[in-house]
Amino acid sequence: MQHDNAKEDEEMFWDGYEYEFIGKIVEHVSKKINRIALPVADYPVGLESRMLEINSLLDIGSDDEVNMIGIHGIGGIGKTTLSIAVYNLIADHFEALCFLENVRVNSNKHGIEHLQKILLSETLGEKKIKLSSVKQGISIIKHRLQQKKVLLILDDVDKREQLEALVGGSDWLGSGSRVIITTRDKHLLESHGINKTYELNVLDEKDALQLLTWKAFKTDKFDPSYLDVMKRVVAYASGLPLALTIMGSNLFGKNIQEWESALHRYEIIPNKEIHNILKVSFDALEEDEQSVFLDIACFYTGIEHSLKSVEKMLHVHYDACMKYHIRVLVEKSLIKISSLGHFTVHDLIEDMAKEIVRLESPDEPGKRSRLWFHEDIIQVLEDNTVSI
């Protein structure tokens, strides 16, 4: 009798275990089947090679540690697009997923606590997450996600407290988890202890022309008569995907004369959408750093200058703080220093800086803080209209 009862209990145990086990399998498979890929760019030109490089840094095959990497570069260079593409590529390797986009904008608008709620809701599958504070959110994230293999994307991070509240350390997540952070600020990654970083560079001329073609003609072919003006648009955009996308879309269906006219206008007054996106990096600078950046972009581009010569010329005005300010500009992707000690500013970043100064007084050059265009200088001297 006892033997029969034991056998019955064993059968009940295994039936219950099997029920739970099958339920977990169904839930796991259902998540994968129902997972919808995030939309990437309509025309993902030049994306594949970059995806492979990021995938190599992530080392997906290793499940014995949490791996964090940072993708950095100027605004509009495609950091978000790349992170989405990688997310879609590797998502099926993880138990829990979360893509937190526009961290900078959403934390300013709704607060970091709001982002913590989204993170917990997405990774735990629970719709109603209640938090009384950011500190409570940190505690719950650490407690609930330590046993989960998570793929987390933090897109467009611009402050240290965002990282500290969303993924303070690798011990917050389960083994095998991967975190990708996109930002314009390389120093932000370094200060958070992220050693694996990837600098996203502009498109080469071939890929840039291909992206412009797709955006302007909705196909990979174009009338050869457009080639000259298209090359000039590509040169103006200097490989920045944002600029190529906006300009190509604006020029769709336009004839060659309209292309010429639009390009001429862009060269005089930058496109407002491009300008505003690039200006985010400028707005994040301290006042002195903004001043140094405007000086460099307005006066020391076009001709190859060494870093030492620029520092020497600006040292008189900014004293010993000069080296620190330039370091900040490099970290925020506004200028680059080559291995030979020369610095460069992306053409559209330069245009953005000059537009900031122009807008100080659009109609009266004498009221602007800086003058570099010879006709404006001559006019101000002839009219004696300098007021600052």
CATH at residue 131: 3.40.50.300
Q: Quote helix, strand, coil % in the chain, to nearest 5.
A: 60, 10, 30
Q: What's the token pair of residue 222?
A: 């174009």
On whether both 152 and 215 belong to a single domain, the answer is: no
Does the residue 164 lie in any domain?
yes
Considering the chain, what is the average pLDDT of its residues? 88
Q: Which of these three, 150, 177, 199, is where a domain ends?
A: 199
- Residue 153 bridge partners (DSSP): 99, 180
pLDDT reading at 19 higher than 80: no
On whether both 311 and 174 belong to a single domain, the answer is: no
Closest by alpha carbon to 247, among 214, 201, 202?
214
Alpha-carbon distance values, 54 to 47, 74, 97 (Å): 11, 18, 18
Judged by DSSP in three states, 64 sits in coil
Rounded Cα–Cα distance for residues 190 and 164 (Å): 13
On whether both 191 and 326 belong to a single domain, the answer is: no
Contact 46, 175 (CB under 8 A): no
On whether both 367 and 241 belong to a single domain, the answer is: no
**Where does the pLDDT of residue 79 fall: very low under 50, low under 70, confident under 90, or very high at 90 and above?**
very high
Mean pLDDT over 309-323 rounds to: 81
Contact 152, 178 (CB under 8 A): yes
Contact 361, 368 (CB under 8 A): yes
* All residues at 6 or more sequence positions from 316 whose CB lies less than 8 Å from its CB, including other chains: none
**Where does the pLDDT of residue 13 fall: very low under 50, low under 70, confident under 90, or very high at 90 and above?**
very low
Q: Pick the residue with more confidence: 5 or 202?
A: 202
Judged by DSSP in three states, 344 sits in strand
Does the residue 153 lie in any domain?
yes
In one-letter notation, the amino acid at residue 70 is G
pLDDT reading at 16 higher than 70: no
Q: What's the token pair of residue 251?
A: 């020029």
Rounded Cα–Cα distance for residues 298 and 302 (Å): 10
**Where does the pLDDT of residue 14 fall: very low under 50, low under 70, confident under 90, or very high at 90 and above?**
very low
DSSP characters for 22-36? HHHHHHHHHHHHHPP
pLDDT reading at 64 higher than 90: no
pLDDT reading at 200 higher than 90: yes
Does the residue 118 lie in any domain?
yes
Does the residue 368 lie in any domain?
yes
Rounded Cα–Cα distance for residues 248 and 131 (Å): 45
**Where does the pLDDT of residue 62 fall: very low under 50, low under 70, confident under 90, or very high at 90 and above?**
confident
On whether both 344 and 370 belong to a single domain, the answer is: yes
Rounded Cα–Cα distance for residues 259 and 311 (Å): 40
Provide the pLDDT for residue 25. Answer: 46
**Where does the pLDDT of residue 94 fall: very low under 50, low under 70, confident under 90, or very high at 90 and above?**
very high
Span of 175-184, 225-234, 311-320 with lowest mean pLDDT: 311-320
Provide the pLDDT for residue 114. Answer: 95
Provide the pLDDT for residue 117. Answer: 95
On whether both 337 and 360 belong to a single domain, the answer is: yes
Element spanning 179, H or E: strand 178-183
CB-neighbour burial class of residue 193 (10 A; exposed 0-12, middle 13-18, buried 19+): exposed
Burial 81-100 (b: 16+ CB within 10 A, else e): bbbbbbbbbbbeebbbbbbb
Name the domain count of the chain. Answer: 3
pLDDT reading at 180 higher than 70: yes
Mean pLDDT over 283-292 rounds to: 93
pLDDT reading at 316 higher than 90: no
